[in-house]
Amino acid sequence: MSLQLNKSEKSEHLYMEVYHYYRNLILEQRLTPGSKMPSLRKCAQELRLSRTTIENAYLQLAADGYIISKAQSGYYVTDIAQRQVVPSSLKNSKSTLYQYDFASSGVDRESFRFDLWRRYIKSALRQDERLLSYGEPQGEADFRQALCEYIRERRNILCSADDIVVGAGVQSLLHILCPLVLDKKTVSFPTPSFIQGSTVFSDYGFEVRYRNKDSGVIYVSPAHMTKWGEIMPVSRRLELIRYAAQNQSLIIEDDFENEFVYLQKPTPSLFGLAGGQGVVYIGSFSRLLLPSIRISFMVLPSVLKEAYQQKAASYNQTASKAEQIALCQFIRDGHLAAQTRKLKRLYSVKLRQLLSAVQTVFGNTSRIQIGSAGTSLALTLSVPFSGEELKKRAAAESLRIQILKDAPGEVTVILSCSSMREQDFLPACRLLKSIC
């Protein structure tokens, strides 16, 4: 073997070098399907690396489908090179497929402190006794207490840990909430785009409408009213609360991206403004931590608390207990607040830079919409073909975009800055212009 490794690199990078070395051998079919990989021991000896480094590389290769382990035998090369398909893990992280990805809702990859998060998970996994039992249906008590203090401080929401229900994502929470409010019969969403939400309501027999405040349930994301980050002004929030109270409608406040309100002071939560009456507050962490961590929570108003308590034991907890324990301590140690500050600063700068790149490239030939929050802007282009066609042309150039609106002769695309690198904004915009 002739793998040249720079020994001075950290061991975390070393294993990726080993990974890429073997991946290339496999893709070029210099290691043929079915052939056995060298044993960990042998490979470590030959490359003069630690067994752990080799093992990590092999695990990554296995996870990506290049090799497969057979019990008590070792690792074997799969037929991935012959199948000529993209391994599933690459299919997921679309950014590795596209040179430029304006459509990803992932987190900026430089911003997340993996080392830190790993340390908290490791600590959580050391609590053997706790992990041997089922989780509390409502969510771990200490985690709910930490959430309670966090939203009191940051969103001015006064509640007790008893009012909080934890679940694996917003849908898991709606699966508990919907059956409690079946008598409301109708639900209104701001736009048809939040399919994950409307699907759950329609599964439970609700009539789903849009922008209709005469509905039994009014679902809003006040910090994310449009894809380009418009936020709901306080006057409209108060009006909505009054109107809903008069009609005995329930408001569901999905506080998505409230952390990324840049151009004005953070607006008070509906839950806080309504004094906790008639509003369910939903918070989540997918935009702050890793999208792959499935933890959300809701705060129930007193009117729903009793109904929930009666059924609480009928629902198993969906969120991972280890991740709840880890996140609890992560919050208590101030890391969530720090991460939020960091991301807010970062996205605020990135979004301005993206805007400037779009203005430079498209100038007056297009319409730009940008709100005071979020990580995206909307760009309306005059093109003689459909949005689908534009998307296809972009993909052919390794550029990923998301179509918001497709009118004759005019297509609106959403450009997100969140997982793009700043130096890519200008070339990506130029590329987009070249195919219009």
Per CB under 8 A, which of residues 145..174 are in contact with a second copy? Answer: 168-172
Q: How many residues bind a second copy (CB under 8 A)?
A: 90
- Do 14 and 53 contact (CB within 8 A), yes or no? yes
CA angle, residues 221, 343, 267, in degrees to nearest 5: 35
Candidate residues 36, 118, 352, 405; the one interacting with a second copy per rule CB under 8 A: 118
Considering the complex, state which of residue 69 and residue 186 has its C-beta at the smaller distance from a second copy. Answer: 69
- Residue 218 C-beta: closest distance to a second copy, Å: 21
3-state secondary structure of 399: strand
Residue 12 near a second copy by CB under 8 A = yes
Contact of 137 with 166, CB cutoff 8 Å: no
Q: In the set 21, 150, 204, 243, which binds a second copy (CB under 8 A)? A: 204
Please, are residues 264 and 287 in contact by the beta-carbon 8 Å criterion? no
Q: Which of residues 384-413 bind a second copy (CB under 8 A)?
A: none
131 binds a second copy (CB under 8 A): yes
Site for a second copy in 331-370 (CB under 8 A): 332-334, 337
Q: Which residue lies nearer to a second copy by CB, 95 or 376?
A: 95
Amino acid at 67: I
Angle, to 10 degrees, between the axis of helix 335-362 and the axis of helix 425-434?
40
Is residue 396 within 8 A of residue 381, CB to CB? The reply is no
The H-or-E segment that residue 261 falls in is none
User: Would you say 15 or 219 has its CB closer to a second copy?
Assistant: 15
Q: Give the Cβ contact number of residue 138 at 10 Å.
A: 22
Contacts to a second copy from residues 39-58, by CB under 8 A: 55-56
Question: Within 283-312, which residues bind a second copy (CB under 8 A)?
Answer: 286, 290-294, 311
Only one of the segments 40-48, 117-125, 359-367, 378-386 lies at the binding site for a second copy (rule: CB under 8 A); that segment is 117-125
* Nearest-10 Cα torsion for 205, 207, 210, 213: -110
How many other C-beta atoms can be found within 10 angstroms of the C-beta atom of residue 239? 13
Residue whose CB is less far from a second copy, 38 or 268? 38
Strands 74-77 and 67-70: antiparallel
Closest CB to a second copy among residues 38, 169: 169
Grouping H, G, I as helix, E, B as strand and the rest as coil, residue 130 is helix
**Out of 14, 44, 54, 107, the residue judged to bind a second copy by CB under 8 A:** 107
Q: Which residues in 174-193 contact a second copy (CB under 8 A)?
A: 175, 178-179
Report the residue number, 289 or 381, with the smaller CB distance to a second copy.
Answer: 289
* Helix residue spans in 256-403 (DSSP H): 270-273, 302-311, 321-332, 335-362, 387-396
Indicate which single residue of 136, 397, 406, 410 sits in contact with a second copy (rule: CB under 8 A): 136
Q: Which residues are CB-contacts of 429 (< 8 A; sequence separation ≥ 6)?
A: 357, 358, 360, 361, 362
Please say which residue, 91 or 430, places its beta carbon nearer to a second copy: 91
Residue 27 C-beta: closest distance to a second copy, Å: 17
Binding mask 64-103 toward a second copy (x if CB under 8 A, else -) reads: xx--xx-xx---------------xx-xxxxxx-------
Stretch that binds a second copy, among 104-112, 226-234, 274-282, 424-432 (CB under 8 A): 104-112
